[in-house]
Chain A
């Protein structure tokens, strides 16, 4: 999947299997990614588990779990709020589009999470105060080794060249490592045209869209990139940083240090 970290770094990663997206004193988010095509390095998110940890006086521990073709509008215990404590409604799930789009407001930690199913796969977006992001560091316990903070490990990053033109053209090249296994993908020009319809700005979301179409031939990924950008527009606090143009590939650790 494509990852935009808390420090606005943008990477395309393999991260097959279960990985932590967020892990701090208040919240644990884990994703499971599966190959989109047999033998492909490219994976997409097929399962998402969010644990809101117990917060005294406000919410009980709550678990939210979504899988392919099952995007519930409730926590695992069937409730839609934070339980029985006095501030239970500071945690709430809202269904925006049945089975397709839910929003979780965790007001007690100033956090908003958006989960969507687009096509077969899931997308995730979060808005969180820096203080909450750093909560693990303050407690001095964890290592902060999670994707939203540190990005993907170098070994898990897919080297996507700038997609400035068709495969083999001087301006860019196809995402060779992942595209090799795709049997029925679009020609570059068709993929670019489809992405341009939804994503007129040729930023990294547009490039991610082209990459996904070239890799899988699944047009639903156009919508995944489009909604990911829509979520950024809703959740990002700096409106000047909505569009990103430079991909990040660097050793893990620098991203967190930059914060």
Chain B
């Protein structure tokens, strides 16, 4: 379930500016971000069934759309800009490498992110002539 990614994408998209103060004047960018957020949750619906964070997000989007008078149909937010490159490390491990980071966010560990249910793994191979 990738609801945390939907959440973080939404917060990243909306953190730069204030949300609209009144429902009479919906902010197009905020509504677009909300529609993107809704789309993201729909894409994760199957794997997130029963996930509290997922259902909270779905209800939260409904509330926010109502509060800010956002239409369900309309443009979505443009892709999130990439993270600007960090300054080069003092002693890189290799050409172009970043420094070791022991504290990678949970989202970067598939097994931690997928929670207590055990992932099923598959294999594919290609060899010979």
Q: Give me the interface of A with B, judged by CB distance under 8 Å.
A: 1-8, 12, 21-22, 31, 36, 42-45, 54-60, 74-75, 77-90, 107-111, 118, 121, 123-133, 138-140, 147-148, 178, 208-209, 211-212, 215-216, 218, 221, 224-225, 227-228, 231-232, 235-237, 259
Contact = CB atoms under 8 A, between A and B. Distances in A.
Given A125-B125, A138-B44, A228-B127, A85 B83 contact: yes
B89 to A, nearest CB: 10
Contacts of B94: 74, 78-80
A147 B123 contact: no
B101 A89 contact: yes
Given A3-B126, A79-B94, A129 B119 contact: yes
A31 B80 contact: no
Given A89-B98, A224-B128, A236 B43 contact: no
Closest 7 CB pairs of A and B: A87-B108, A79-B96, A110-B110, A148-B124, A228-B127, A90-B108, A87-B104
B98 A81 contact: yes
B116 to A, nearest CB: 14
17 contacts: A4-B124, A5-B124, A54-B82, A56-B80, A56-B83, A78-B96, A80-B97, A81-B93, A87-B105, A88-B98, A108-B107, A125-B126, A129-B110, A129-B119, A129-B120, A130-B122, A224-B127
Interface size class of B (residues with CB under 8 A): 35 or more
B43 A138 contact: yes
A26 B94 CA distance: 25
B18 interface: no
A227 B127 CA distance: 9
Interface of B: 5, 8-9, 43-44, 46-47, 80, 82-83, 85-86, 93-98, 100-101, 103-105, 107-111, 114, 119-129
Nearest to A48: B126
A32 B60 CA distance: 48
A57 B7 CA distance: 13
Contact of B107 (A12, A31, A77, A87): A87
B108 A57 contact: yes
Interface of B is mostly: loop
B95 A6 contact: no
A129 B97 contact: no
B124 A22 contact: yes
Contacts of B124: 3-6, 21-22, 124-126, 128, 147-148
B114 A131 contact: yes
A218 B85 CA distance: 47
B95 A74 contact: yes
Q: Which residue, B104, B107, B114, has most C-beta atoms of chain A within 10 A?
A: B104
A75 B8 CA distance: 28
